[in-house]
Amino acid sequence: MKQGIVIKSTGSRYRVLDDDGNTHDCVLKGIFRVSGVRTTNPVAVGDRVTVDESESLITALSPRRNYIIRKASNLSRESQIIASNIDQAFLMISIKMPSTPVEFTDRFLATTEAYRIPASIIINKSDLYGTGEMETALRIREVYGKIGYPVFIISATEDESLDQITALLRNKTTLVAGNSGVGKSTLLNRLNPSLSLRTGSISDYHEQGRHITTFPEMHPLPGGGYVIDTPGIRGFGVIDFDRSEIYHFFPEIFKLSSGCRFYNCLHMKEPGCAVRKAVAGNEIEPWRYKSYVSMMLEDNDKYR
Ligand SMILES: Nc1nc2c(ncn2[C@@H]2O[C@H](COP(=O)(O)OP(=O)(O)OP(=O)(O)O)[C@@H](O)[C@H]2O)c(=O)[nH]1
Ligand SMILES: [Mg+2]
Ligand SMILES: [Zn+2]
């Protein structure tokens, strides 16, 4: 029997890195298949597991400290665990080639808030930005920085030093997420050149829905710690949360909500809402509020 962590999962096969540093390709003991009903994958990257003597069978799963999930597909209520036992999440975005919609950022951040996973934002491809795009990047840094999220503007390909990022990753398990083509794998290759992860060429991304990285995978870092490269994410949204709780996951909205007239104000149409007042006065960034409203409305059908 050996203990280890799952570093790769393809849905039916799992690669386990044991505590002696050896990897094993394993399948799950039958019992797991029936137990994990709500998720499409009962065992995920980051899970601590027990491997039996054959070194090819996972027989037990240790309790998870946390995990992050997404909907298996847009229409599905079924969810997939992307990774577990995460110390922090990096959301990589870009202003161009491809540009990341702010609503995407806000949904991701709400999800990490809900799971109490600290998140930072990396704005990549700064070498491609003209004046207008750089202004947008700086504005994003200002808005999210004020809320409390660290924001870094980098070029994974051109920057000579990425020491700031390296320092943040040391001895932690970091989930790296972001839409397809923003440069996640490129950054990880820079941080650990021995990885040689597959990256896309710009033209690959003109085709919608194409992903270069297809399964989440965990990689060790030279200075200690792990990064989890994930496929460009779609369907990342708040699931399994009560509509009345969504505002808890927008820290700046939550902070002001105590000033609302009604204790159960949802900051939608209620009179005396301190949140909407702050939006009108630009104390809360209007696009953040718009993302909040969109999440509230999307989730609505569940409650009708
Ligand atoms: N100009 C420029 N190109 C970059 C930068 N970072 C990455 N790229 C390019 O962007 C393309 C996509 O990079 P990937 O690292 O494959 O993107 P990814 O986020 O891993 O994509 P998925 O695996 O599909 O989710 C590649 O052609 C990279 O060379 C950057 O900072 N500047
Ligand atoms: Mg990739
Ligand atoms: Zn309110």
User: Helix count (H) and strand count (E) of the chain?
Assistant: 8, 13
**What pLDDT score does 299 carry?**
53
From CA 209, how far away is CA 181, in angstroms rounded? 10
Mutate which of 154, 158, 185, 199 for ligand 1 pocket (most atoms within 8 A of beta carbon): 199
Q: How far is CA 212 from the centre of its chain?
A: 17
- Check: CB of residue 275 under 8 Å from CB of residue 256: yes
> Could you tell me what percent of the chain has a pLDDT over 90?
68
Quote the tokens at residue 16. Answer: 């386990």
Give the number of the atom of ligand 1 that is nearest the alpha carbon of residue 211.
24
Mean pLDDT of all residues belonging to the chain: 88
- Check: CB of residue 6 under 8 Å from CB of residue 14: yes
Ligand 1 centroid to 236 CA: how many Å?
20
Domains and CATH numbers, the chain: 2-63 (2.40.50.140), 82-229 (3.40.50.300), 243-303 (1.10.40.50)
Mutate which of 92, 157, 186 for ligand 1 pocket (most atoms within 8 A of beta carbon): 186
Note residues around ion ligand 2 (Cβ under 5 angstroms). Answer: 184-185, 212-213
Average pLDDT over residues 224-242: 74
From CA 77, how far away is CA 70, in angstroms rounded? 10
Per-residue model confidence as pLDDT tens digits over 79-120: 778 899 999 999 999 999 999 999 999 999 998 999 999 999
Give the number of the atom of ligand 1 that is nearest the alpha carbon of residue 124.
31
* pTM assigned to the model: 0.91
